[in-house]
Protein backbone atom coordinates (compact mmCIF):
# COMPACT_ATOMS: atom_id res chain seq x y z
CA UNK A 1 0.00 0.00 0.00
CA UNK A 2 1.34 3.43 -0.90
CA UNK A 3 1.21 6.21 1.65
CA UNK A 4 -0.01 9.62 0.56
CA UNK A 5 2.42 12.49 1.21
CA UNK A 6 1.91 16.20 0.58
CA UNK A 7 4.85 18.33 -0.52
CA UNK A 8 3.64 21.87 0.07
CA UNK A 9 5.43 24.95 -1.22
CA UNK A 10 4.80 28.57 -0.34
CA UNK A 11 5.30 31.80 -2.24
CA UNK A 12 7.63 32.17 -5.20
CA UNK A 13 8.62 28.50 -5.33
CA UNK A 14 6.72 28.10 -8.59
CA UNK A 15 9.41 30.35 -10.07
CA UNK A 16 12.25 27.91 -9.43
CA UNK A 17 14.75 27.84 -12.25
CA UNK A 18 14.27 31.51 -13.07
CA UNK A 19 14.22 33.04 -9.59
CA UNK A 20 17.69 33.86 -8.26
CA UNK A 21 19.40 30.74 -9.64
CA UNK A 22 22.53 31.61 -7.66
CA UNK A 23 20.48 31.06 -4.48
CA UNK A 24 17.84 28.51 -5.54
CA UNK A 25 19.61 26.62 -8.34
CA UNK A 26 18.68 25.94 -11.94
CA UNK A 27 16.09 23.20 -11.37
CA UNK A 28 12.62 24.32 -12.48
CA UNK A 29 9.47 23.81 -10.44
CA UNK A 30 8.52 21.01 -12.87
CA UNK A 31 11.91 19.44 -12.14
CA UNK A 32 11.18 19.63 -8.41
CA UNK A 33 7.82 17.93 -8.94
CA UNK A 34 9.48 15.17 -11.00
CA UNK A 35 12.21 14.68 -8.38
CA UNK A 36 9.72 14.39 -5.52
CA UNK A 37 7.27 12.10 -7.29
CA UNK A 38 10.01 9.77 -8.58
CA UNK A 39 11.71 9.39 -5.20
CA UNK A 40 8.34 9.14 -3.50
CA UNK A 41 7.44 6.20 -5.73
CA UNK A 42 10.71 4.46 -4.78
CA UNK A 43 9.87 5.00 -1.10
CA UNK A 44 6.29 3.76 -1.47
CA UNK A 45 4.70 7.21 -1.35
CA UNK A 46 2.01 8.76 -3.52
CA UNK A 47 3.45 12.28 -3.53
CA UNK A 48 1.21 15.25 -4.26
CA UNK A 49 3.35 18.37 -4.86
CA UNK A 50 1.60 21.73 -4.58
CA UNK A 51 2.63 25.39 -4.70
CA UNK A 52 0.77 28.55 -3.75
CA UNK A 53 1.42 32.23 -3.25
CA UNK A 54 -1.66 32.38 -1.01
CA UNK A 55 -1.27 31.99 2.75
CA UNK A 56 -4.88 30.92 3.24
CA UNK A 57 -4.59 28.16 0.67
CA UNK A 58 -1.46 26.81 2.35
CA UNK A 59 -3.27 26.82 5.70
CA UNK A 60 -6.21 24.91 4.17
CA UNK A 61 -3.77 22.29 2.79
CA UNK A 62 -2.23 21.89 6.25
CA UNK A 63 -5.73 21.38 7.67
CA UNK A 64 -6.35 18.73 4.99
CA UNK A 65 -3.14 16.98 6.05
CA UNK A 66 -4.05 17.14 9.75
CA UNK A 67 -7.58 15.85 9.13
CA UNK A 68 -6.28 12.96 7.02
CA UNK A 69 -3.13 12.12 9.06
CA UNK A 70 -1.11 12.84 5.90
CA UNK A 71 2.65 13.35 6.29
CA UNK A 72 3.95 16.67 4.95
CA UNK A 73 7.13 18.10 3.51
CA UNK A 74 6.67 21.86 3.88
CA UNK A 75 8.68 24.65 2.28
CA UNK A 76 6.82 27.70 3.57
CA UNK A 77 8.99 30.15 1.64
CA UNK A 78 8.78 33.64 3.10
CA UNK A 79 5.84 32.55 5.30
CA UNK A 80 8.50 30.72 7.38
CA UNK A 81 9.42 33.92 9.15
CA UNK A 82 6.12 35.49 10.12
CA UNK A 83 2.99 33.45 9.36
CA UNK A 84 1.58 32.52 12.73
CA UNK A 85 -1.60 31.29 11.06
CA UNK A 86 0.43 28.80 9.03
CA UNK A 87 2.45 27.88 12.13
CA UNK A 88 -0.76 27.19 14.06
CA UNK A 89 -2.06 25.02 11.20
CA UNK A 90 1.24 23.09 11.12
CA UNK A 91 1.01 22.59 14.91
CA UNK A 92 -2.23 20.65 14.35
CA UNK A 93 -0.33 17.95 12.46
CA UNK A 94 -1.31 14.34 13.08
CA UNK A 95 1.60 12.84 11.09
CA UNK A 96 5.24 13.85 10.62
CA UNK A 97 5.90 17.27 9.11
CA UNK A 98 9.38 18.09 7.79
CA UNK A 99 10.22 21.75 7.19
CA UNK A 100 12.48 22.15 4.17
CA UNK A 101 14.45 24.99 2.60
CA UNK A 102 16.50 25.00 -0.60
CA UNK A 103 18.98 27.57 0.71
CA UNK A 104 20.46 27.80 4.21
CA UNK A 105 18.44 30.56 5.90
CA UNK A 106 21.18 31.06 8.51
CA UNK A 107 23.68 31.97 5.78
CA UNK A 108 21.39 34.70 4.47
CA UNK A 109 19.77 37.91 5.72
CA UNK A 110 19.10 38.09 9.44
CA UNK A 111 15.30 38.21 9.04
CA UNK A 112 15.52 34.69 7.55
CA UNK A 113 17.13 33.29 10.71
CA UNK A 114 13.78 32.88 12.49
CA UNK A 115 11.34 30.10 11.62
CA UNK A 116 7.94 30.10 13.27
CA UNK A 117 7.43 26.58 11.86
CA UNK A 118 10.54 24.84 13.22
CA UNK A 119 9.23 24.51 16.81
CA UNK A 120 6.17 22.55 15.63
CA UNK A 121 7.85 20.51 12.88
CA UNK A 122 9.23 17.00 13.28
CA UNK A 123 12.49 18.38 11.90
CA UNK A 124 14.05 20.86 9.50
CA UNK A 125 16.32 20.26 6.51
CA UNK A 126 17.93 23.24 4.79
CA UNK A 127 20.77 24.25 2.53
CA UNK A 128 21.04 21.29 0.17
CA UNK A 129 19.26 22.76 -2.83
CA UNK A 130 16.60 20.51 -4.33
CA UNK A 131 18.36 17.72 -2.44
CA UNK A 132 16.72 19.11 0.71
CA UNK A 133 13.44 17.64 -0.58
CA UNK A 134 15.05 14.24 -1.22
CA UNK A 135 16.47 14.25 2.30
CA UNK A 136 13.07 15.23 3.71
CA UNK A 137 11.26 12.43 1.88
CA UNK A 138 13.84 9.93 3.15
CA UNK A 139 13.42 11.33 6.67
CA UNK A 140 9.66 10.84 6.37
CA UNK A 141 10.19 7.25 5.27
CA UNK A 142 12.36 6.67 8.34
CA UNK A 143 9.85 8.39 10.67
CA UNK A 144 6.98 6.31 9.31
CA UNK A 145 8.81 2.99 9.75
CA UNK A 146 10.12 3.67 13.29
For 93-120, the pLDDT digits (tens) are 999 999 999 888 776 668 677 889 999 9
Q: If you average pLDDT over every residue of the chain, what do you get?
A: 89
Q: Please tell me whether 103 is known to bind a ligand.
A: yes
- 24 is known as an active-site residue: yes
CA distance 114 to 97: 18
> Is 53 assigned a ligand-binding role in the annotation?
no
Max avg pLDDT among 18-22, 38-42, 82-86, 127-131: 38-42
Q: What is the pLDDT of residue 18?
A: 58
- Exactly one of 63, 82, 84, 101 is catalytic; name it: 101
Query: Is residue 54 a known part of a binding site?
Result: no
Q: Which residue segments constitute the domains of the chain, with CATH numbers given?
A: 3-145 (3.40.50.9100)
101 classed as catalytic: yes
Amino acid sequence: MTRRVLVLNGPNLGRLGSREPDVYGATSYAGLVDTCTALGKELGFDVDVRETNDEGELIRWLHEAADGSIPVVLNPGAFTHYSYGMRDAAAQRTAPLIEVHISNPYAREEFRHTSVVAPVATGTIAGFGIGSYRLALRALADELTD
